[in-house]
Amino acid sequence: MFPDFYATAAQVLPVLMLALIWESRFLDRLTAQNRRPRRTDPDGVLFWTRPRVRAYSLFIVATIMTGTALALLVLAGAVPPGEAPRAVLTGCALLALATLLTRVVVDVVAATRPPGGEDEPVAAPVETDVGHPPGATPPAVEPRGR
């Protein structure tokens, strides 16, 4: 019923780990970011301090590596396929995907935020003369002789 599940999991989980940890210079950005708690630094973070980011990142890596090892053990015949290995592998994949989705959303929001930090409303163009945008000089109309 699940002929390629374990082979797919053994291939997808390491790719997810690479996407989470080594894509887009995640570790370089972590090094450069201010991750002090807000109680000691007004510009700090509410929850994701360096120790918490370290612990969660290592937990995710360990979980994905454990799932990959389990998939390989099932493929090698050392662990029998069944509901428990499928549930563990599905949980590993869902946790990795949820973490990746969260990181993508946070990165996209941070990258598209205006430099001032607050989203600024965009004013709609107002026409001063019919068919002419504000600040544009209407075309000169030359009088016709009679």
For residue range 42-73, list pLDDT tens digits in order.
887 888 888 898 899 999 999 999 999 999 99
- For the chain, how are helix, strand and coil distributed in percent, rounded to 5? 60, 5, 40
* 111 within domain boundaries: no
* 120 within domain boundaries: no
Cα separations (Å) of 60 from 35, 51, 91, 138, 142? Answer: 19, 14, 11, 62, 74
Amino acid residing at 68: T
* 52 within domain boundaries: yes
Mean pLDDT of 118-143: 60
The domain of 46 spans 5-102
Structure letter (DSSP) for residue 108: H
As a whole number of angstroms, the distance between CA 64 and CA 25 comes to 20
* Digit-coded pLDDT (tens) for 75-106: 999 999 999 999 999 999 999 999 999 988 98
Q: Among 27, 46, 29, 50, which Cα is nearest to 37's?
A: 46
User: Number of structural domains, the chain?
Assistant: 1
* 125 within domain boundaries: no
Query: With contact defined as beta carbons under 8 Å apart, do 15 and 97 qualify?
Result: no
* 95 within domain boundaries: yes
Entry pTM? 0.70
Q: How confident is the model at residue 43, as a pLDDT?
A: 80
As a whole number of angstroms, the distance between CA 109 and CA 27 comes to 19
* 49 within domain boundaries: yes
* 122 within domain boundaries: no
The confidence band for 116, taking pLDDT boundaries of 50, 70 and 90, is confident
